[in-house]
Structure 1
Amino acid sequence: MILPTGTPRLDRYLSEGYETVRGMSSAFAASISGHILRRQAELGIKGHIAEIGTFEGRFFIALAMGLQPGEHAIGIDIFSWPSEKVLDHLHANCAKHGVPQPDYTAIKGNTADMTPADVIAPALRVPGSVGGKVRFFHIDGQHDDENITNDLNLAAPLMHESGIIVLDDMLHPAYPELVESVHRWLRQHPEWRVLAIIDREDIVAAAKYVLCRVEAVALYEKDLLAAFAPQVFPMGCDLIGHFTMVLTPNPRLAEID
C-alpha cells in the first residue's frame, strides 16, 4: 500500500521503483517513514539517516530521499548474504533511483564490532555537515536478543533529541521473542516510548515499531493521527503503560451484533 509522503521524488520511487529493488520492508512503512522525515525537516530537526540491515537498498533509498543539505545516509550491513554481490547491487540501485554516492556511505561489517563513533564518522566528513546526530535510524539487523539489544544501544547515543528509531519485524511470527528483548530495553530506558506500530502488509512485509523519546511524542502523534486517519486502527493499544497508535492498511473491526 502506497500513500503520499509529500516528497515528490519519493512518491515516484515508491510507485515506480520500490518493488524492483530486492528487499522485504513494505511500501506502507516506507510511505509513513517518508512522511516522518518530511515532518522533521519542516520542524527544523537536523540530523543524519542511518540503517542497520541495508541489504540492496529498498528501504534505504526511500529514507535517503528525505535528506536535507548537510545530512548524510549511512547504510550498515555485512553485505555478504546471499552473495558478495550485495554491495554492488546497493550501489547500482542507488544510482538508478537517484541517490548519488556523495549522499551516502555503505559500511560493511558487523554492528557487534562497532561503536557509535564508527557509525557516525562518515557523516562528520560531509561538507557542511549538520553535526553528529541521527534524526532517523532504521534497525533491521540480526533478529535475536543479543543483536537487537546491541543495535539499540548503538543507535540511542547518536539520536537527535527529537529523533526516531524504527524497528523492523516486530510481532513477526518467525521471531516471536524479538519483542521481548525490545520491551525489556524500553523498560530499562523509560525515556524512550513506542510512538506507533506500523502493521504488516503480509508476512514478508512485516510490522515495525516507531520509537521516540517521551518529550518528542507531541511533535509526531497528532500529526500522524491526522495525516493517516484512514489507516488508524480505532482501538490502538496499550504498550508498557501508555497509549500507542496502530497504523494499518486495513483498519477494520470485527462486526458484532
Structure 2
Amino acid sequence: MERNFARYRAFGHRLVTGFLEPEVLLLLDVLNSAQRAKQVTGAVAEIGVHHGKLFIGLRLLQRPGEKSVAIDIFGDQDLNVDGSGHGDLAKFVNNVNLWSSMDDVVIQQGDSTKLLPEQLRELAGGDVRFFSVDGGHTAEIVRSDMKLAETTLTDGGIVIADDVFNQQWPGVAVGTLRYLEDSGGARLAPFLIGFNKVFFTQPEHCGRYRAEVESAVAGKLRLATGASVFAGHDVGLVAPQGPVDLLRRSATVRSLYHRTYREMVRGLQVVSGRGGSAH
C-alpha cells in the first residue's frame, strides 16, 4: 500500500477533514523506511482518530496482515471531558475506505484510559510499531495514554504525541512531562519535535531515528533542522522555512541589509540636520 501512501501524502490528505500539518506525513515516510530497514514490524494504532486524517497515512504504511487499530470515543461524547475533538465513526470509515480499505482495521470505541495493554495487544495482534497519541487533552488522560503506548510498543517502535506545545491545550504539556518524570521511570524518550508533534522511542533508538530525519530533510529548501533539549533529552527540531528565513541565513544578504540600514540612518540624520557629514 505504500504507493497509495505517496498519493495520499501528495494530495489525498487535503480531502480529509482534521488537524494535521502535511509535513508529518514526510516524517512518517522517513521513519517507516528506517523501521523497515531494521525489520521493525507490528501494528499501528491511534488514540483519537477523528475523521482519519493521520490514521489513513499510518494505515497505508502497513503490509497485508498487519493490523491498524483505531481508538476513539466517537459518538460517546459524554466521555469527551475537555472537548478536544469530535470523532465521527461514519466519516472515519468512509474516509478509510476511500483511500485504503477496512481490511485489518480494528475499531475500539470507548475510553482509552480503560483499555488494558493486554486488550490492546489482542486487538493489534501483538505489539505496536507506530502509536499516535491524540485523544483527551487533560494531563491525566495524556499521561495514561502515553503509558499505554509505552507498554504496548515494540522494540524500535515510535510514539507520535500531538499538541504537546499547543498553547490551547496546556494539559497535554503537563501530562507529557508527568509521564517523563514518572517515579517508575519512563521507558521512552523524545527524539524529534516538529509540526505540532513530538516523537518518542526507546532511548537506544533515538540517535538513529534523529539522524535518519536530519539526513532526509537536509537540502530541502522548505524545511530547516536544529537541535535542542526537551525534559533533559536531546531532540532534533524540524520546522518550515520560507523565503524570509532563507534570506536571513545568507551572510551576503545580512551584510547587504546592515549596510543599507546604516546608509538609510545616515541619510535621515542629514535630512533632519542632526547628522552632519557622513563618515
Shorter-chain TM-score: what band?
Answer: 0.7 to 0.9
When residues 111 and 182 of structure 1 are mapped into structure 2, their CA distance, relative to the original with a 3 A threshold, is same
Question: Do 2:43 and 2:66's aligned partners in 1 also have CA atoms closer than 8 Å?
Answer: yes
**Match for 1:197 among 193, 200, 210?**
193
Which residue of structure 1 lines up, in the alignment, with residue 67 of structure 2? Answer: 72
Which residue of structure 1 lines up, in the alignment, with residue 88 of structure 2? Answer: 86
Q: In the aligned structure 1, how far is the partner of 2:34 from the partner of 2:224?
A: 18
Structure of higher CA gyration radius: 2
**Match for 1:95 among 94, 97, 121?**
97
Q: CA RMSD in A?
A: 2.4
Which has the larger share of helix? Answer: 2
Question: Cα distance, 1:36 vs. partner?
Answer: 1.2
Question: Do 2:49 and 2:87's aligned partners in 1 also have CA atoms closer than 8 Å?
Answer: no
When residues 240 and 84 of structure 1 are mapped into structure 2, their CA distance, relative to the original with a 3 A threshold, is closer
Q: Deviations over 1:93-139 (max 9, x none)?
A: 111112x2222111111112211122222232xxxxxxx11111000
Which residue of structure 1 lines up, in the alignment, with residue 128 of structure 2? Answer: 134
Pair 1:49-2:38 in alignment: no
Runs of 4+ displaced beyond 3 Å: 81-85, 251-257
TM-score, L = length of structure 1: 0.84
TM-score, L = length of structure 2: 0.78
When residues 195 and 37 of structure 1 are mapped into structure 2, their CA distance, relative to the original with a 3 A threshold, is same
Where 1:101 maps in the other structure, the secondary structure is coil
Question: Do 1:116 and 1:157's aligned partners in 2 also have CA atoms closer than 8 Å?
Answer: yes
Gaps of 5+ in 2: 78-82, 259-279
Question: Cα distance, 1:239 vs. partner?
Answer: 1.5
Identity of aligned residues (%): 24
Gaps of 5+ in 1: 1-6, 125-131, 200-206
Question: Do 2:16 and 2:52's aligned partners in 1 also have CA atoms closer than 8 Å?
Answer: yes
Pair 1:212-2:201 in alignment: yes
Q: In the aligned structure 2, how far is the partner of 1:91 from the partner of 1:192?
A: 31
When residues 85 and 192 of structure 1 are mapped into structure 2, their CA distance, relative to the original with a 3 A threshold, is closer
Q: In the aligned structure 2, how far is the partner of 1:85 from the partner of 1:165?
A: 21
How many aligned residue pairs are there? 236
Q: In the aligned structure 1, how far is the partner of 2:178 from the partner of 2:240?
A: 28
When residues 242 and 112 of structure 1 are mapped into structure 2, their CA distance, relative to the original with a 3 A threshold, is closer
